[in-house]
Structure 1
Amino acid sequence: MIQILVVEDEVKVAKHLKKGLEEQGYEVVITYDGDVALRLFSQQPFDLVLLDGILPGKNGFQLCREMRQLKPNVKIIMLTALSATDDKVEGFDSGADDYIVKPFDFRELLARIRAHSKTQQISYSPSLKIANLELDQAKKTVVRGGVKINLTAKEYSLLEYLMKNKGRVLSRLDITEQVWDLDFDPGTNVVDVYVNILRKKIDKDFEPKLIHTRVGMGYFLDDQE
């Protein structure tokens, strides 16, 4: 499955892109900030980036240059309202593989994504494994110690996100943005509730314990506490 990072500060546009791309079988992570985007890009194995030009934090052109230096083979498509020829030239000079001006036809975007995906070797492992816990991303199944673990769609998404970020402390803000696509409400305990549910399902009857809490900071999954 091709993994796409959408960097777009307009929340409605970002969520529209995520919904449409996921319906086409892509795995999508969205972020609204350039600095956060660079951190995610450096830590996760994305195959393609859809990148707005005007962003809080680092702007799209600066971000494109830094992404290109970090991972030269990842495809980057600028998706922006900046339509002047000088902007397009700057986009390509920054390292973009393609440049699409808003408003755009979603069918054209899909065609561009397919075209760029064919030009690279996609390195994708269909399963994630930590200790005796295995998550199959193709079949959407979870097994621990040979025992199948039944999870809801949201529980699965949370576990997948934790496993992809093994050893990294994830704040409640990180989790709500990537798993729920919600603006963080400091008064909600939805993350804590779901983490506790996961603990009961994948940790309670197994060793070693994999889900850990860093007090005041967040949660992380690792086979070494």
Structure 2
Amino acid sequence: MQKLVSLFRIAIRSIKLGFAQRQPQAWELELEKFRVDQAGRTRAALQLLAKLSDAARRRFSEPVLLRLLAAGWREGRRLPPEELAALQAVAAHPFPTVVTDGLSEFGGLTLYPHSGLGRFAWIGEVDKDLTEHQSQLERLLERSLHPIGFSNIFDDDGLVIYSDDAGRLFADGEMGSENPGDSRIDYLAASFDRALEIMLRYSAKSDEWPGVPASGMWCYNKVSADAAHSIS
């Protein structure tokens, strides 16, 4: 996506300089529309930022608060009860209170990180096809998991975000379709708040995700499953 953005900028600059005479392609127009929309949301978020309480400022860093506000989050935000009930209705397990609280506050938001256009995190219902390995992951960690969102911030194809009963968040990793030993799940953070900080401030990638030391994530597989229990 970043490459496309760079190409788009070069194309627009060429047109302005008279080196190219053509109509922008549809994806270029959509990209520019998105950029303008996000810029407007960020300006509005800056105005809202000044009105936040000290408690909110202690919860999140200022860059993350701006991203949350631009996405539609507000202090005291709560999903309507019927929307929360709809999320529970399609879940494999009853939500513990910590998951209910997190989904109520952040459910329905599409969040964009500092890493640029094309990256996002969605908090809310996850397509069933994307959670077909959930029971396998639960056996790996020996705990119930609750899909609470989806993100392509760390991986181009996207990863399902799970919470356990204690509110710790994980991301599903590469899944082996034949050998359960290929199962992988990555510990993301100890809470919704911390996970949002990591995702929305994420600005680096590596070929061996999560091989970026600053990402703060651990990787587990069947061979090293015992290590996962150290967070119990």
* Range class of TM-score, shorter chain: under 0.3
The structure carrying a bigger helix percent of its residues is 2
Tell me which structure has the larger Cα radius of gyration.
Answer: 2
Superposition TM-score, scaled by structure 1 size? 0.23
Superposition TM-score, scaled by structure 2 size? 0.22
The structure carrying a bigger strand percent of its residues is 1
